[in-house]
Amino acid sequence: MHRHEKIWLTLSSLMIIGFLVLAGYQAFALELGPPSHKETIDPQKVDETAPFNEPGVYQTGENEYEVVMIGQVFSFNAGGDELVFPAGSTVTFTMTSKDVVHGFQIAGTNVNTMVMPGYVQKVTQTFDSPGEYLILCNEYCGSGHQLMASTITIE
Ligand code: CUA
């Protein structure tokens, strides 16, 4: 093998190892990995499985709320509770789907995720500015997809 070839091969191998070590250090030592929450649920038994047996809005702290919500064709079911929170509230949405894959996007925020049958999805958002926030399903889920929306009111 040519001497220059060896040098470049060694150099590129060292770079690959270096990047792997760096990525591993960031992901595991600094815990900079992508946010994730893996929790599964039997999609046939959503109605009987806590906390989805009682969907709704729950206050969990002074300025903290949890919304237990089920995505289903073609609505976001929070047990009939209004999604109204004081400004500055931190709201955690705990969600799953009863049927097909739905989307969960809150317009005007960075929240944009999927709600999948068989999985529990958790998203947390702090709402500082008062106003109406539109919740949209952005995954095509059937003939009523365009009707699947809700609103959050921040007072
Ligand atoms: Cu649910 Cu589109």
Q: Is 74 helix (H, G, I), strand (E, B) or coil?
A: coil
The number of folded domains in the chain is 2
Let me know whether 146 and 123 are in one domain.
Answer: yes
| Interface predicted TM-score (ipTM) of this complex, two decimals | 0.98
Which pLDDT does position 29 carry in this prediction? 87
Let me know whether 63 and 114 are in one domain.
Answer: yes
Share of the chain above pLDDT 90, in %: 90
Contact 104, 113 (CB under 8 A): yes
Cβ of 137 closer than 6 Å to ligand 1, yes or no, is yes
Let me know whether 18 and 79 are in one domain.
Answer: no
Cβ of 135 closer than 6 Å to ligand 1, yes or no, is no
| Beta bridge partners of residue 119, listed in sequence order | 40
Whether the per-residue pLDDT at 33 is higher than 80: the answer is no
